[in-house]
Amino acid sequence: KQVSREWREENTLVRLPNGTVIGGREIVLMAGPCAVESEEQILTAARQVRAAGATVLRGGAFKPRTSPYSFQGLGEDGLKLLAKAREETGMAIITEAIDPEGVDLVAEYADVIQIGARNMQNYPLLRRAGQTGKPVLLKRGMSATITEFLLAAEYILAEGNDDVILCERGVRSFDTHTRNLLDLTAIPVVKGLSHLPIVADPSHGTGLRSKVVPMGRAAVAAGADGLIVEVHPDPTRALSDGAQSLYPEQFTELVEQTRVIAQAI
């Protein structure tokens, strides 16, 4: 398999147009709101997370919500606002594509195409994303084994696209104290099996703002190549995932702590 360490021994480095390299020595910080909500919201969030040290701005324009009645995202208008934030801040943009038909539109704007947990095994979507030639961040499905996760990534590599970033975002568990169970073991396991970089999402991985900073630190200590974190200028007013979104000051604190941990390992 092309995802395997047997196929390629050295770590794959994914390079973004703004100079960010994922899989190298630096811990890459991707941050921003769950969803793009307005020009003011995304530009404010971008300035805040950039000032804290993030080099990649996240924000969904197409949201795969659990309920069809929840906010579904701004669509192409959201993509345009992300492009504006990139222009102003120099950050790279990561945003989700939720269906095969929508991939080309997302690829016109995004520097990294995100495939969400709910779509990890949407094989036509994976193939289309692979065909764009843009870097793809693939999130682990909420009940996917590590083997299924790596085989899903294989669909993208099989299209001739090696620029794949894996993302551990928590799996379902029997415990109700957190939204998901962030499987930190997956990080060293994947590192052993694959040359692809892996980042952690402690926001969806815990679902609770107060747990995001400690689990972000832990993921870096476990060997993650980076973090993707939800940060909102005013989490109490977020249209999605407010309960797990950090206040900008908390993100700054997390960045400082990850630097200390990265130095120590």
- The contact set with ligand PEP (CB under 6 A) reads 34, 60, 64, 116-118, 139, 169, 201, 204
Q: Which is nearer to ligand PEP, 107 or 238 (CB)?
A: 238
Q: Which is nearer to ligand PEP, 72 or 161 (CB)?
A: 72
The site partner of 202 among Mn ion, ligand PEP, none (C-beta below 5 to 8 Å per kind) is none
Residue 167 interacts with Mn ion (CB under 5 A)? no
The site partner of 116 among ligand PEP, Mn ion, none (C-beta below 5 to 8 Å per kind) is ligand PEP
The site partner of 225 among Mn ion, ligand PEP, none (C-beta below 5 to 8 Å per kind) is none
Q: Which is nearer to ligand PEP, 7 or 98 (CB)?
A: 98
Residues between 235 and 254 that touch Mn ion (CB under 5 A): 241
The site partner of 169 among ligand PEP, Mn ion, none (C-beta below 5 to 8 Å per kind) is ligand PEP
Q: Could you give the C-alpha distances from 210 to 62, 206, 215, 232, in angstroms and in order?
A: 27, 9, 10, 14
Q: Provide, rounded to whole angstroms, the least separation between the CB of residue 211 and Mn ion.
A: 15
Pick the piece of the chain touching Mn ion (CB under 5 A) from 28-36, 108-116, 123-131, 175-183: 28-36
Hey, what are 202's tokens?
């402690």
Q: Which is nearer to ligand PEP, 64 or 223 (CB)?
A: 64
Please list, in sequence order, all residues whose beta carbon lies within 8 angstroms of the beta carbon of residue 26, skipping any fewer than 6 positions away.
262
Rounded Cα gap, residues 199 and 30, in angstroms:
9
Q: Which is nearer to Mn ion, 96 or 225 (CB)?
A: 96
The residue at minimum Cβ distance from ligand PEP is 116
Q: Provide, rounded to whole angstroms, the least separation between the CB of residue 34 and Mn ion.
A: 3
Q: Which is nearer to ligand PEP, 23 or 60 (CB)?
A: 60
List 3, 30, 34, 200, residue binding Mn ion (CB under 5 A): 34
The site partner of 42 among Mn ion, ligand PEP, none (C-beta below 5 to 8 Å per kind) is none
Q: Provide, rounded to whole angstroms, the least separation between the CB of residue 263 and ligand PEP.
A: 28
Q: Is the dihedral of CA 117, 252, 165, 32 positive or negative?
A: positive
Residues that bind Mn ion (CB under 5 A): 34, 241
